[in-house]
Amino acid sequence: MTEPEPPELPEPPEPFGARLRRAMDTRGPLCVGIDPHAALLREWGLNDDVGGLERFTRTAVEALADRVAVLKPQAAFFERFGSRGIAVLERAVAEAREAGALVLMDAKRGDIGSTMAAYAAAFLDPDSPLFADALTVSPYLGYEALRPALDAARAGGSGLFVLALTSNPEGAEVQRAVRADGSTVAATVLRHLAAENAGAEPLGSFGAVVGATLGDLGAYPLALNGPLLAPGIGAQGAAPADLPAVFGGAVRQVVPSVSRGVLKQGPQVSGLRHSAARFADEVRIAVG
């Protein structure tokens, strides 16, 4: 009697870094935030309620999900409406991914042990209704406290963006603090990420959040073979032309993030599309 054939194992998911590199090369290196805060809802002529939230979010997804590389919903602006707001977020994530955008959930989670594992399950498990292509996380309970999220992302083909050098001025007191070995906390985080990405091609899946408004960062090890999410373009004062001076040789790995600079052109779909296309073109020119 012949032995039965072993069952075929499912193909492993394509890593986030590879999908991100392809999206940036084909759609342009741009991330657009979906930040439905109260003032912006009012600017769009919408009520600050679940109905306004849904109208805002659906318009942004309809306008941008089939043409930008990354959409980044800020979870807090949905969570403030409770379960109905989360339902809007779930639909937005599904519709954006169906239209071809990569979804980066901006939730900045950071905890330890089983709690970190639960956050990872919520956003990085492909069976979760909030499953996103990547998640922002905070390493300031210790980098290894992120291990459940790192493992979940690797298993599910997702990515992480770890806070390293953020654009808010308060961040410096922690991120630029000097350790006993003489290195800064931020540099230590960046080196950990480089180790996670070692050998990945064409791009690692574990990135850092590094503000575009911080000036020359040549003293920091930004060459981590992974993406660098760069908030601060547009309303916060940085321009695409600034990117080479800030990021140097790592500029091709930069994913500039624009929120208000695009969203203020709503609620017209054409305005949102035109603004996103202009930013993407300016970034292409800046990074070569």
Which residues are known to be catalytic? 108
* Residues 6+ away with beta carbon under 8 Å from 186: 164, 165, 175, 176, 220
Beta-strand relationship, 70-73 and 102-109:
parallel
Tokens 């999206």 belong to residue? 23
Neighbour-count burial of 201, counting CB atoms closer than 10 A to its CB (0-12 exposed, 13-18 middle, 19+ buried) = exposed
Measuring CA to CA, which residue among 257, 161, 260 is closest to residue 208?
161
Measuring CA to CA, which residue among 38, 162, 151, 145 is closest to residue 104?
162
CA atoms of 132 and 259, how far apart (whole Å): 18
Asked whether the beta carbons of 157 and 13 are under 8 A apart, the reply is yes
The letter for the amino acid at 7 is P
* Residues 6+ away with beta carbon under 8 Å from 1: none
17: tokens are 């870094």
Whole-Å CA distances, 142 to 126, 136, 155, 170, 209? 26, 15, 22, 19, 16
Tokens 């004062």 belong to residue? 237
Task: Assign residue 84 a region (left: φ > 0; alpha: ψ between -120 and 50; beta: otherwise).
Answer: alpha
CA atoms of 16 and 203, how far apart (whole Å): 9
